[in-house]
Chain A
Amino acid sequence: MTDREGDPDIERRYAELPREEPPRALDEEILGAARREAEARPAPLVAPTARRHWYVPLAAAAVVVLSVVVTLQVQREQLDADMSAPSVPAPSDKGARPAVSGTAAEPKVQTRERRAVERPRPPAEPRPEPPAASAPQAVPAKPFPGEAESAGKVAAPVGRAAPIPEPASGVRQTLERKEAAAPAADALSKRVESIEPPERWLERIAALRRDGRHKEADEAYAEFRRRYPEYRIPESLRDKVLPP
């Protein structure tokens, strides 16, 4: 017997049997219950069926995308650390460590520590305006504005340290990164300043003396002598640089 097969004669005779129907009272009872149900508990705005249709694939896609993004981010950070650390020339600064190592949080801590160590000697900073030297405190808390500030600060020393191209490219790479950019740039700028050519250093000290900031000039000169103990100051600069 196939699905359409049957016995037409029996089906015809069956159709002649009395057509019992439910009583009207029962109909009314059922229809009343259906109406009450429809009024009492309206269907949700998003039907369960429809919600189930997109909910699971969307959730799965979100999990996959999130996993990929996090993985790529971690890989990029590691790559940044690998790329930026070797590009920084080993400075004479004994407290210096690689700009980025391991996690993104670590360099921030290092930078903070370094800043605390360096705070007692602000005149050693190569910037002519001291207020600008205290600006990096915004770096850890505000990544994006901090990036811009770091970029501005780093650009100047790099321009002055033209004969040393490697830190400049390192700085440029660092600026493109989000997480490690601020602390790495900060560390680099200090290192670039610390390896400033002696002629420029002396010019800066002379400028400080010219401005009457002899205390800062003395400290800068002392730092200069620690850095370049054998350097012979030209006669033309001697009066302008040496303590009066």
Chain B
Amino acid sequence: MEGSDEQLMLAYRDGDAAAFEALYVRHRGALFRFIARSVRERALAEEIYQDIWMRVIEARRRYQPQARFTTWLYTIAHNRLVDHWRRSALHAVSLDDDEAPLAEPAGNPGLEPQRQAQAREGLARLAQAIGTLPPAQREAFLLRVEAGLGIEEIARATGANEEAVKSRLRYALAKLRETLDD
């Protein structure tokens, strides 16, 4: 089904279930990875992911295309994550806790075995470094690379000001660069 995200959401608001399906297919992967890399536990990620989409479904009658659908969707996701952290006080828990680790980096199959191993190691370090970022920096980074949001949209989705978002992104990228250069 063609049309912008906003048009699809409006169509769904007016009762077109197929429009929601198209919208869902567009965003399912990125949203799931955003959640999974924020909470780093697959079962919990699935629960939160489902809850976010249920909130979208419930809010369809109130939907107004005042901003990009993506910004709206990730605002809901941010709020759901904040709820989760507040409820379980997980923001105080070490982010190195790999209770149920996500998939290991696969590397590039076109490279020679030794270089493949190096690449896999580099990706693993990156994944680990992302996991060790402070939540606010990690969230800003993931919103940038997974959702493709700009500074202003990240600020809107997270309720922060643009300068704070720039700062978080700058620190996050610096730490990840440092990890990769080691």
Binding site for B on A (CB under 8 A): 1-4, 6-7, 9-11, 13-23, 26-27, 29-31, 33-35, 37-39, 41-44, 47-49
Q: Are A30 and B50 in contact (CB under 8 A)?
A: yes
Instruction: Tell me the complex Cα distance, A38–B106, Å.
Output: 40
Rounded to whole Å, the gap between the CB of A157 and the closest CB of chain B is: 68
Q: Are A34 and B49 in contact (CB under 8 A)?
A: no
Rounded to whole Å, the gap between the CB of B89 and the closest CB of chain A is: 25
Q: Are B176 and A49 in contact (CB under 8 A)?
A: no
Residues of A within 8 A of B180 (CB): 9-10, 13
Q: Are B177 and A7 in contact (CB under 8 A)?
A: yes
Instruction: Tell me the complex Cα distance, A48–B21, Å.
Output: 23
Residues of B within 8 A of A33 (CB): 53-54, 57
Name B103's closest neighbour in chain A (CB-CB).
A18
Q: Are A16 and B123 in contact (CB under 8 A)?
A: yes
Interface flag for B151 (CB, 8 Å): yes
Interface flag for B108 (CB, 8 Å): yes
Q: Are B13 and A47 in contact (CB under 8 A)?
A: yes
In the complex where A11-B145, A14-B126, A27-B24 touch, is A20 in contact with B102 (Cβ < 8 A)?
Answer: yes
Q: Are B24 and A49 in contact (CB under 8 A)?
A: no
Q: Are B102 and A42 in contact (CB under 8 A)?
A: no
Q: Are A18 and B104 in contact (CB under 8 A)?
A: yes
In the complex where A37-B60, A38-B17 touch, is A20 in contact with B33 (Cβ < 8 A)?
Answer: yes
Partner of B13 from A4, A21, A31, A43 at Cβ < 8 Å: A43
Q: Are B61 and A16 in contact (CB under 8 A)?
A: no
Partner of A26 from B21, B33, B49 at Cβ < 8 Å: B49
Partner of A13 from B103, B104, B126 at Cβ < 8 Å: B126
Pick out which of these stretches binds chain A: B68-76, B79-87, B91-99, B165-173: B165-173
Interface residue range, chain B = 35 or more
Instruction: Tell me the complex Cα distance, A43–B108, Å.
Output: 48
Residues of A within 8 A of B53 (CB): 30, 33-34
Q: Are B29 and A49 in contact (CB under 8 A)?
A: no
Residues of B within 8 A of A10 (CB): 126, 173, 176-177, 180
In the complex where A22-B32, A34-B21 touch, is A14 in contact with B145 (Cβ < 8 A)?
Answer: yes
Most chain B CB neighbours (cut-off 10 Å) among A3, A11, A19, A29 = A3
Residues of A within 8 A of B144 (CB): 6
Q: Are B105 and A30 in contact (CB under 8 A)?
A: no
In the complex where A7-B176, A20-B33 touch, is A38 in contact with B15 (Cβ < 8 A)?
Answer: yes
Instruction: Tell me the complex Cα distance, A30–B64, Å.
Output: 22
Rounded to whole Å, the gap between the CB of B95 and the closest CB of chain A is: 17
In the complex where A13-B123, A21-B28, A37-B57 touch, is A43 in contact with B14 (Cβ < 8 A)?
Answer: yes
Residues of A within 8 A of B12 (CB): 34, 38
Interface flag for B122 (CB, 8 Å): yes
Instruction: Tell me the complex Cα distance, A15–B173, Å.
Output: 15
Name B31's closest neighbour in chain A (CB-CB).
A22
Q: Are A7 and B173 in contact (CB under 8 A)?
A: yes
Q: Are B176 and A26 in contact (CB under 8 A)?
A: no
Partner of A42 from B15, B49, B169 at Cβ < 8 Å: B15
Instruction: Tell me the complex Cα distance, A21–B15, Å.
Output: 27
Partner of B24 from A9, A21, A30, A39 at Cβ < 8 Å: A30
Rounded to whole Å, the gap between the CB of B18 and the closest CB of chain A is: 9
Instruction: Tell me the complex Cα distance, A78–B6, Å.
Output: 57
Q: Mark B130-148, 1 if CB is under 8 A from A, else 0.
A: 1000000000000011000
Q: Are B176 and A21 in contact (CB under 8 A)?
A: no
Name B62's closest neighbour in chain A (CB-CB).
A48
Residues of B within 8 A of A9 (CB): 177, 180
